[in-house]
Amino acid sequence: MKNIIYAISILLLFASRKDNTSAQTNRVETKTETSIQHENVAYKSIEVNGMNIAYREAGNPENPSIVLLHGFPASSHQYRKVLNQLSNEYHLIAPDYPGFGNSDFPDSKTFEYTFDNLATTINAFLEKKNINNYAIMIQDYGAPIGFRLATANPERITAIINQNGNAYEAGLGDAWQGIRALWKDRNETTETALLPAFSLEGLKWQYTHGVRNIETVNPDNWNLDYLRLSRPDAHAVNLDLFYDYQNNVKLYPKWQQYLRDNQPPLLIVWGKNDAFFPESGAAAFKKDVTNIDYNIYDTGHFALEEDGDAIIKKMRSFMRKHTK
């Protein structure tokens, strides 16, 4: 227990450092807004490459599609507000990656947990669903998966909605120190140092660090994640993904070139208090994208938890402008 508390305190220490980015931005003052719920979310699954992939789907498939790509340690559950509020106007689909959410959790001996393989699976999922023209909403792990989809088939991407999804080295915060040590030398010591991230306390911290009011964050988030991360082999699988994340960093220049060449409409809705992906990561997109709607929120890594209504209102306006 002492080791867990110590490790989390170190993360908090690093996260407390202020980002001094001077980029111009829309500083969003969050106000209470009335949200309209459209309770027509379906919970489905489909076989993809021998695996059962679970997903949530809402809205008319004839409407413009938005593919919602979740982060770590989450699942499609993180997009429940988006699914409920935008389904009257858009077709929304939120898959769980292999090993996440309600999708199959294949043994690492039969499925190599890399971001290449996660993206390959999600691409096959979308093709099987016959979704070939869509916007993507990316957050955390959703960014390396989404950018792989975009660079492989840029003609399919109608727009990008980015909630703390990184594509620049400038966007890697101090909380990456432990994972960087793993990249440098993967051994028992560097792996053990990261295990507190999978504890209940560590998972709660990821959802609540940097928020204005912890009571606005649904505790189901970290409790559900903890159950999934308590399964046999779950720690090893997620350490594999931590280790493989370095290959995402190597692809950053390719993703940046995609942005420069294709200039997709880009909506930034970023929590500035994210210890992993600070505001500097959001500002970096301004170097490569001219058609950018840039919004910064005074919240943490999972900005939808605290500022969901405001972000969804912005998403609706953005999608109306850029898609038909």
Domain membership of residue 263 (yes or no) is: yes
Domain membership of residue 210 (yes or no) is: no
Domain membership of residue 281 (yes or no) is: yes
Nearest residue to 37 (alpha-carbon basis) of 85, 89, 80, 77: 85
Domain that holds residue 276: 24-174+248-322
Per-residue pLDDT at 91: 98
Per-residue pLDDT at 324: 74
Q: State the catalytic residue, choosing from 91, 209, 301, 322.
A: 301
DSSP at 318 = H
Domain membership of residue 127 (yes or no) is: yes
Per-residue pLDDT at 153: 98
Per-residue pLDDT at 40: 87
Q: CA-CA distance, 245 to 236, in Å (whole number)?
A: 14
Query: With a cut of 70, which residues of the chain have pLDDT below it?
Result: 1-39
Per-residue pLDDT at 34: 41
Per-residue pLDDT at 312: 99
Domain membership of residue 62 (yes or no) is: yes
CATH of the domain at 165: 3.40.50.1820
Tokens of 44: 């489905």
Per-residue pLDDT at 37: 55
Domain membership of residue 215 (yes or no) is: no
3-state SS assignment for residue 145? helix
Per-residue pLDDT at 179: 98
DSSP at 160 = E
Active site residue 209: no
For the entire predicted model, the pTM comes to 0.89
* Number of domains present in the structure of the chain: 1
∠178-18-70 over CA atoms, to 5°?
A: 55
Domain membership of residue 6 (yes or no) is: no
Per-residue pLDDT at 39: 61
CB-count exposure of residue 130 (10 Å: 0-12, 13-18, 19+): exposed
